[in-house]
Amino acid sequence: MMLSLIASIFLVSCSMSITDPEHKDDVLETHYSKFDGHEILEHRLLVGYENKDAALKLAQKLGGEIYEEIPQIKIVAVKIPMEVSEAFKILKTTKFSGIRYIEPSYKRYLIDPKPAGKSMTKSAEINSEEEGDLWSELWGLQKINAQKAWKEATGVDVIVAVADTPIDCQHPDLYGQCVEGFDPQSGITISATSDYEDPQNSGDDHGTHVSGIIAAKNDGKGVVGLAYGAKIMSIVIFKGTSDHSHVSYVGDEYTAKGIVWAVDHGAKVISNSWGGPGYSYTLKAAVDYALKHGAVFVAAAGNNHTDQHWHYPSAYPGVLAVGATNARDEVADFSSHGEYVSVAAPGVNILSTIPHSSTYGIYGKPYDYWGGTSMATPHVSALVALLFQKYSNATPYQIMKIIEKSAVDIGIPGWDHSAGYGRIDAARALEETSKNDGAVYHVRVISKDGGFSVPSALVTLKRKRRNGPSYYAASDEKGVASFYYIDPSDYDVIVGGPDLYDINSPILRIEEQTTDNYSINLDGGESTDTAEFDTHVDFLFSIDASSSAYLISARYYYSDDTIHPIFEATSSEATNVAVRLKAGQVIAMYAVSNPVEATTVVWATAIVNDKIIPISGRISVGSTYTFLDEYGGGDSPMWWTAF
């Protein structure tokens, strides 16, 4: 028996929600695996919800349990007994309502700073009166005119949250400079005078080094931070291993929880010297939460020395992404490049604090030279603190623009992928003002014919004049990609997808992807535009006598296991039938009147956006039907999607 069949799809939004857990694990065992080419923390799913009950149903469906919730951004974390890839397969054919997204918890990395030893790379002549006994070694502060800036502001009463490894707040340069912090994985607060780091693990010294650059006190001893009047809030997102050999990332869920906690407890600056690949809706929600609550989010561009746009959180819209420079105002060879870079700051051989119990250090003291965008970032975070002292009512966008406008242009004239707008200058920044509040822009992605929302679409705002950063975001379950506090400018808006490997994606094959492009002039304020996906799927089939071909609504099939045909072709004689379904999500099925006496293979053809895909199914002995797809049908057929 031979057939030709074509099917079309009805697009269904996956939705879910959650209930409060009765308990949560303080610590999850950490196992890593690869998913969509990125490293993830295994046995964890992060779920954004609209209503909590759906999330509980999702957890129950997978045999899992909710171990963490962040109600401020409507997110829960679910511990599952299976690998994420297995859960992905189940969830791709399971429909919930009330869920905004489902995603893995990606592995992130400290921006790989390396203790540099005593050797320095500084300009031949740097002369200045000393502020501390190591002032002559602090070329970075001298380069950005810190002393002149201190006549205007020192960051008094501004809280800078450092999302990093634990911080040694008992270090002589940091004692009295900390406020209460938070360990989001264990859920405990950290004393403002504690040494929370592991004295046996030099791998967790990173947070202490970053903190010294920001706010080491100005007491004529040791080093001094650019914002020595500010306070440090420790948010622990990298923790030492039990064997004291290295540190590991706690997960996107705990990091988001820590960011939200910091904002809720008064942090005006969130400093992030870490990052990695993998677009996380959860991290973006936390970044957006910080921006909408008036906090500036500063993040390292990365040490990959490549031109990229996939590094998060630095590539999220509204983030101050920081590259690194040396004392000759050259971009460091390790500093990552990309359309998301805002500014650069000193990041080569930077002297700062390390834990007082460390077994290494220069001059026999708890200080060391490190290099990386990890060290550049706290210079910018500290500058934000200075500006907030002077302009306490400024918005995050206004602070960002002051820093960008006052930067010293280096390298290629104008904004560029390497240094952004240039190397920061603290004194010039404090002489600058900005009254522009920027733009908030939303792109809603829908099906042209069906009008339904399309999640997992990738949206790029490409600046036409190439005189500043471009921006990237992905659409959520409502089809909306949001860009908070971006530059008013002319953009080409490029919308593509949906992302085949996103759990929330409605498509199951690359042939179903499409694009929509348009141009926009953003002049400030908040606005929304609509992008339309326009695709089709044709099913061509020939029907034998007493046989039928069906297109079944995937929405209903996967929710109640009932056949809900939206197309049926039946004939008493052999005939050819063609049908085009331009918008929707369907399953293709072929049926005969009587049970077959021998296994019967049915062949058909689907044409997806003019691309031919042979499909087939197998009617087993004693059965009357088979599903049709490119893998031979089976009990779990793959639906077809058209927009």
**Whole-structure pTM value:** 0.89
Name the residue among 561, 578, 560 with its Cα closest to residue 569: 578
Which pLDDT belongs to residue 559? 57
Which pLDDT belongs to residue 131? 57
- The active-site residue out of 164, 204, 252, 476 is 164
Whether 164 is a known active-site residue: answer yes
Whether the CB-CB separation of 598 and 588 falls below 8 Å is answered with: no
Which pLDDT belongs to residue 36? 78
Tell me which residues of the chain have a pLDDT lower than 70: 1-29, 112-132, 200, 202-203, 305-309, 555-564, 571-572
Dihedral angle computed from the Cα positions of residues 251, 257, 260 and 261, in that order, rounded to the nearest 10 degrees = -120
Which pLDDT belongs to residue 257? 98
Whether 245 is a known active-site residue: answer no
- The active-site residue out of 335, 342, 374, 489 is 374
Whether 519 is a known active-site residue: answer no
CA distance 302 to 322: 8
Whether the CB-CB separation of 133 and 173 falls below 8 Å is answered with: no
> What are the CA-CA distances from residue 423 to residues 297, 463, 531 (Å)?
18, 21, 37
Phi, psi of 31, rounded to the nearest 5 degrees: -130, 140
Sorted by sequence, the CB contacts under 8 Å of residue 464 that are 6+ apart come out as: 489, 490, 491, 492, 519
Which pLDDT belongs to residue 204? 78
- The active-site residue out of 43, 171, 206, 379 is 206
| Structure tokens, 316 | 């999220």
Phi, psi of 319, rounded to the nearest 5 degrees: -90, 140
